[in-house]
Amino acid sequence: MAALVQQLASLAQTCFDEKQDTVSEEPFKNVLSAMNTIQAKHLNFDPSTVKVNDSAGGAPVTFIHVYKNDIFSMRIFVIKPSGRIPLHDHPGMFGLCKVIHGSVHLRSFSEVEEQGIQDTCFQSRENHSVLKSVRLHQDMIVTSSDDCCFLTPREGNFHEILPVQGMAAFLDVLAPPYNPGRDCHYYDELGNDVSASDAADESVRWLRQVPTASDYWCDRLVYKGPSIEC
């Protein structure tokens, strides 16, 4: 029988299409079900191999490349106790996140129809172009015993991930994958101080695009799990 991670990859290959921003319900459910079965042992991931160094110069996140083709990518991210995955987006992408070690605090947002902006400090075309109006989608603690979380091109597409009480690791599946023409953007949360009008929806929050955070970078480990072919 094929390794569970190979089964997951085969289902992802069938489910996702690089030219579409929608998926069929049944194939997507199959991917979610397979993702929920994945544990650290199925990837031969050993947390003790990750160097945790909170002193100056130590990478706050470790990245492990698992698999990538034109349809999807699979990666493992290990967040050190003082690290984080900053608030960012996944333009036009589906994403699945399965915690395989420890626990994480996940906050995600969905973009809403653009609102008008009153505040004069945001009036310029340049600043206006990097603002996103969003609503909170999820704010939760996720452990290795929980089902995977997922985002779509329209729901929960902006998110940030922080470890809870020590190092955490998760398997990440993105479809389509990042490439030179498709990259993520990073954001600061402005809250709901930037309002459109007195009648504006108070649940709307604002995100401002910013450069990559100076406290976020990755070192790498080699993937030692089962080989994958699609």
The region of weakest confidence among 1-10, 123-132, 177-186 is: 123-132
**pTM passes above 0.85:** yes
What is the pLDDT confidence band of residue 17, given thresholds at 50, 70 and 90? Answer: confident
Indicate if the alpha-carbon torsion angle 36, 154, 92, 178 is positive or negative: negative
Domains in the chain: boundaries: 4-221
- Specify whether domain 4-221 bears CATH 2.60.120.10: yes
pLDDT in tens, 100-118: 999 999 999 999 976 554 4
- What mean pLDDT do residues 159-177 have? 96
pLDDT at 34: 98
Tell me which of 19 and 75 has the higher pLDDT. 75
The first and second tokens of residue 196, run together, are 């459109």
pLDDT at 22: 80
